[in-house]
């Protein structure tokens, strides 16, 4: 049997023009997103706009605390946008998805994906890794601001890992602990949260909770994009 049969993953995904249900939409989207993450992680030039980032950090040391915070926020936002745009560009090569960076859905979502027929929607919010409390900001934007909990809508939290010695699994486990902690307080709108795992890929965490507006189940995929090169193992 040839490697290019009709049921070969990529061929089937690009041939298919209608998703049977939201699970089918997510199954195909996750494959395309994983392709994007793999492409970006495997490139030697992972951080395209901020190649001189080490030099910028050295300059930062000379600034006072307020200025330093402002510049660090600017760097984080620029890097988040840069990687999100690259993911959007890769997803857009699959004609079954309509994808935009900062598309409008109750606010400007980092990565907004619709199925080609607009029947299904996925909202991705991205944050540079800077500990679970920083990732929480992205979760709040997704859950509180952008998501509506509509039929056939779900979300994603993307953690861009660029400067930590922690392993991906450790980052996901720490994030899971943070989610458990947040869900204990009803103010955080993560009612009835449940955790699901992909036994084939423990680096990805899935949650379901009762959406605060629609009261329907809202699914979120939490995952990392590893941007580190060998200099971060030193």
User: What are the residues binding another protein (CB under 8 A)?
Assistant: 1-8, 10-12, 14-20, 24, 35-36, 39-40, 43, 48, 86, 89-90, 92-95
- Give 82 or 176: the residue with its C-beta nearer to another protein: 82
Q: Return the residue matching tokens 């009803």.
A: 186
3-state helix, strand, coil in the chain (%, to 5): 45, 25, 30
Q: How far apart are the C-alpha atoms of 101 and 108, rounded to whole Å?
A: 8
Least distance in angstroms from the C-beta of 77 to another protein:
21
Least distance in angstroms from the C-beta of 209 to another protein:
29
Q: How far apart are the C-alpha atoms of 91 and 40, rounded to whole Å?
A: 12
- Give 84 or 141: the residue with its C-beta nearer to another protein: 84
Edge-first strand order for the sheet with 194-198 is 97-104, 108-115, 121-128, 153-161, 217-226, 201-210, 194-198
174 Cβ contact list (under 8 Å, min separation 6): 132, 166
Least distance in angstroms from the C-beta of 63 to another protein:
32
Least distance in angstroms from the C-beta of 55 to another protein:
23
- Give 36 or 171: the residue with its C-beta nearer to another protein: 36
- Give 10 or 106: the residue with its C-beta nearer to another protein: 10
- Give 61 or 118: the residue with its C-beta nearer to another protein: 118
In which element (H, E) is residue 176 found?
A: helix 168-183
Least distance in angstroms from the C-beta of 202 to another protein:
24
């Amino acid at each position: 049997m040839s490697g290019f049969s009709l049921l070969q993953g990529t061929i089937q995904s690009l041939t298919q023009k209608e998703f049977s249900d939201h699970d089918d939409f997510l199954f195909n989207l996750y494959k395309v997103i994983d392709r994007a993450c793999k492409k970006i992680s495997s490139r030697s030039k992972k951080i395209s706009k901020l190649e001189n980032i080490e030099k910028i950090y050295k300059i930062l040391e000379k600034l006072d605390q307020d200025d330093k915070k402002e510049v660090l926020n600017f760097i984080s936002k620029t890097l988040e946008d840069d990687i999100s745009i690259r993911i959007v560009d890769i997803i857009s090569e699959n004609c079954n998805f309509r994808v935009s960076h900062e598309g409008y859905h109750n606010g400007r979502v980092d990565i907004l994906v619709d199925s080609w027929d607009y029947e299904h929607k996925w909202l991705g919010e991205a944050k540079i890794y800077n500990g679970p409390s920083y990732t929480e900001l992205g979760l709040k934007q997704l859950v509180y601001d952008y998501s509506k909990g509509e039929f056939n809508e779900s979300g994603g939290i993307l953690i861009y890992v660029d400067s930590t010695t922690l392993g991906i699994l450790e980052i996901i486990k720490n994030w899971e602990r943070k989610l458990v902690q947040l869900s204990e307080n009803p103010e955080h709108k993560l009612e009835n949260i449940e955790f699901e795992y992909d036994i084939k890929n423990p680096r990805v965490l899935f949650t379901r909770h009762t959406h605060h507006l629609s009261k329907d189940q809202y699914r979120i995929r939490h995952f990392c994009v590893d941007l580190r090169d060998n200099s971060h193992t030193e």
